[in-house]
Amino acid sequence: MKYLNILVLLFFISACSEKPADMNNQLKYEKDGLSFSYPANWEVTEDFVSEDVRFVFVESPGDAIIKIEVYPTEQSFELKEFVELDVEALIKETPSILELDSDNEIKEVKTSINGTEFHGLKYEFNISVVNIDVPHVSESYSFPSHEKVAYLTNQVAKEDHGKVNGGFKQVLATFKIEP
């Protein structure tokens, strides 16, 4: 979780530098039972296991990120509990130089991609430092398989959401987890 908060800080510092997702070119990620496609100008920056939980991070050239967490089924959560724990960790681990503000409301979200509906949860929050506010939005989705449950969480500054939403949808629509 500390890694996520460091990324949030870096995103804040680099706000307004987001480039549109390169939707004309895509790369394919396949490793140890996970696969998905993502924009060619994005990068898979981490793929590691810690205490039976796998973490994969996909980052845009600006401040958008997709965090993938894969849990053994017996250690998994309902999606709402997962998001609540994620939000709690974000609030607790945010560096003291930043202020994090939200209404703590987690809302349902439906994303339709090529006729397929994905149901997830959305959380909005504001990061500020020295009276400069950067509203953010985060969406989470779960993908259960026979032995594991994967959670995909994307996060970006609200003003950049339109530039990267196609990339988020691309990962979501092509994500597969194998036993």
pLDDT for 178 = 86
Residue 1 has pLDDT above 70, yes or no: no
Asked whether the beta carbons of 109 and 139 are under 8 A apart, the reply is yes
Residue 145 has pLDDT above 70, yes or no: yes
Query: Which pLDDT score, from 0 to 100, does residue 75 have?
Result: 95
Taking a C-beta distance cutoff of 8 angstroms, is the pair 64, 156 a contact? Answer: yes
- 133 or 39: which carries more pLDDT confidence? 39
Does residue 110 carry a pLDDT above 90?
A: yes
Task: Please state, in angstroms and rounded to a whole number, the distance separating the CA atoms of residues 161 and 164.
Answer: 5
pTM, entire model: 0.87
Q: Identify the DSSP state of 158.
A: G
pLDDT confidence of residue 116: 93
Q: Per mean pLDDT, which range of 10-14, 141-145, 155-159 is the poorest?
A: 10-14
Give the position of tokens 């979200």.
109
pLDDT attached to residue 9: 52
